[in-house]
Structure 1
Amino acid sequence: MADLSRFPRLPLIGLPTPIEPLEGLSRHLGSALSGVRLLVKRDDLAGFGGGGNKLRKLEFLLGAARREGADTVITVGALQSNHARLTAAAAARSGFACELVLTRTVKREDADYTGSGNRFLDDLFGARVHVLPGEADALAAAEERATRLREQGRRVYVFPSGGSSAVGCLGYAACADEILRQADAMGLALANIVVPNGSSGTIVLKNSGVAAVVVR
């Protein structure tokens, strides 16, 4: 793996998150996947703010924001975005003001959806939230908001949905290295790494030297 130490990084995760066997699922699928042992990387146990692998990107994104002297971060996502929630939590912990531009991509107006879960936590973590229609260009709106804040003397760092930028994806490069080091320490010979695909940030794992199976 490449040396990532030259990139600024704010520690947010208690590393490494564990790799645990899925014994029950392995037994259940045994007839279809003969001899296959399934394991899971428990990034839900990472750090704070409810956990989740988006913290890996935020370590590098907020590191870059601090290096650039930013005092405010803005990101985008859907109304119940996990990434937005973790950005708000990480920004609060790290001393950044945070603004979230969220779109109503799910056609629900009930309070259980619009005011609970991640949306409740966004407010609890002190983020300023801008809610737009589902068809809106959230990133363009975020850049416009950043321009207005800069005119007021604020120093703003903007990153896209899911934090999936070149800087953010350094978090998954670091994760690939972490997985391989753990596998070596555990005596595991990994054949495949299966990753979900939303904003495509985890695709960097395909360069880890282990075959990556992407679930869309």
Structure 2
Amino acid sequence: MNFTRYPRRAYLEEATPIEFMENLSTFLGMEVNLFVKRDDLLPGAGGGNKTRKLEFCLADALEQGADTIITCGAVQSNHCRLTASWCCKENLDCHLILEERVKGTYHPENNGNNFLFHLLDVNSISVVPGGSDMMAEMRKKGDELKSHGKKPYIVPGGASNPIGALGYVACAEEIMNQLNAGHQDIDHIVVPSGSAGTHAGMVAGMIGTNANIPVSGINVSRPKDVQEGIVYNLAEETAQKLEMKMSIPREAVVCYDQYVGPGYSLPTDSMVEAVRLFAKHEAILLDPVYSGKAAAGLLDLVRSGHFPRGSNVLFLHTGGSPALYAYMPTFRKDN
């Protein structure tokens, strides 16, 4: 696949490591061999998967002459944090529209990513109720900025469009280069599935590289059928953008929604257990919203015998650990 046709910034210094989680695999009885792709170690203020997407999205913005970025996310959005951090590096203004998906959860003095938005000196933060039309809100902000002579560029939530998803097609190719160089087999990949760009890019990338390693998404918000439709459509659009010769089979998109719990960003017992187990056994920090719930799904799939005994399973760690500090009472209440 040829990525040189698209503008791209060089935010990645090298491939993120793939590590064998020997302690966690042993704790789980060695039913499967668990590996982790450490995209939590990507550069940016606090690390995380959105840096891969922003390599393409911010390059597109700069090529179009933008001087201002507008994006959106939840009140503890990892995407908003990383967008703000790369805007600092690129000397771009940054305006955030935050969706209060759970009423009463936004407070200006909050810890976690919310604190980092201010430390990164974003130009403005607007908070809108859950269920708002976020694209309409960002366009409204864009019109306001244009009236003041600015040249805004809108990055969708999660940088999850065909431009941003290119970052995870490139990641799929990076993974295959690492596996081939290390003579390492992987039978299955598990990823968080939220705004869909990471999941869709990985599906398109695994098909585009002819690796055809199955990719399963663990939902963090939507029901299975809805999320699978969103991921499939974005994977198809991304494949078309890359002019891939093959289309995306519908059966290549698989999601599990039983680990969402009461709703997006709301803690679950299985998420708390997963965060603690990854920390205790592997010294790896997960976040409560995305990687924590995805890891909870991974652990349950292992324990339930979903993967054949002896399988090699790769977990894509999308980062987000700064959000942990906004959830301290959740992890201290049992102590």
**Fold equivalence (TM over 0.5):** yes
Q: Distance in 2 between matches of 1:178 and 1:188?
A: 13
Please list the CA deviations of residues 42-86 of structure 1 after superposition, one character each: whole Å capped at 9, or x if unmatched. 111111210001111111100100111100010011111010011
List alignment gaps of at least 5 residues for structure 1: none
> Counterparts of 1:26-105 in structure 2 under 5 Å?
26-30=25-29, 33=31, 36-105=32-101
Relative to structure 2, which stretch is displaced further, 133-142 or 38-47?
133-142
Alpha-carbon distance in structure 1 between the residues aligned to 2:169 and 2:73:
23
Paired amino acid for 2:12: I
Structure 2 counterpart of 1:119, one-letter code: N
8 Å CA contact 1:79–1:114 kept in 2: the answer is: no
* Paired position in structure 2 for 1:211: 214
Matches within 5 A, 1:75-154: 75-109=71-105, 111=107, 115-127=110-122, 128-154=124-150
Query: Given the superposition, is the C-alpha separation of residues 114 and 140 from structure 1 closer, same or farther in structure 2, using an over 3 Å criterion?
Result: farther
Q: After superposition, give the CA deviation of every residue in 1:147-202 in whole Å (9 maximum; x if it has no partner).
A: 12122221111021111011000100110011100111111111111111011112
8 A contact 2:168–2:202 mirrored in 1:
yes
- Write the distance in 1 (CA, Å) between the matches of 2:106 and 2:48: 26
Q: Distance in 2 between matches of 1:109 and 1:50?
A: 22
Aligned-partner residue type, residue 93 of structure 2: A
TM-superposed CA distance for 1:98, in Å, is 0.4
How many residue pairs match? The answer is 211
In the other structure, the counterpart of 2:22 is: 23
Q: Runs of 5+ in structure 2 lacking a partner?
A: 220-335
Cα 1:109–1:206 shift into 2, 3 Å? closer
> Residues 93 and 153 from structure 1, CA distance in 2 versus in 1: closer, same or farther, beyond 3 angstroms?
same
Please list, as runs of the form range in 1=range in 2, the aligned pairs for 1:3-18 lying within 5 A after superposition.
3-18=2-17
Equivalents in 2 of 1:205, 1:138: separation in Å? 25
Q: Distance in 2 between matches of 1:110 and 1:145?
A: 20
Distance, in Å, in 1 between the alignment partners of 2:106 and 2:196 is 30
SS of corresponding position for 1:213: strand
Normalised to the residue count of structure 1, the TM-score between the two structures is: 0.92
Q: Which amino acid aligns with 1:10?
A: R
> Structure 2 CA distance, aligned partners of 1:55 and 1:30?
35
Which stretch shifts more, 125-134 or 77-86? 125-134
8 Å contact from structure 2 (residues 72, 134) kept in 1: yes
Decide whether aligned partners of structure 1 residues 110 and 194 sit closer, same or farther in structure 2, where only a CA change above 3 A counts. closer
Q: Larger deviation: 125-134 or 92-101?
A: 125-134
Q: What TM-score results when the alignment is normalised by the length of structure 2? A: 0.60
Question: What is the percentage of aligned positions where both structures have the same residue?
Answer: 42
**Distance between the aligned counterparts of 1:44 and 1:109, measured in 2?**
25
CA distance in 2, matches of 1:106, 1:24: 36
Between the two structures, name the one with larger relative contact order (CA 8 Å, sep ≥ 6).
2
Taking only aligned residues, the RMSD between alpha carbons, in angstroms, comes to: 1.6
Distance, in Å, in 1 between the alignment partners of 2:44 and 2:137 is: 28
One-letter identity of the residue aligned with 2:134: A
CA distance in 1: counterparts of 2:167 and 2:109, whole angstroms: 30
Distance change in 2, residues 1:169/1:110 (3 Å): closer
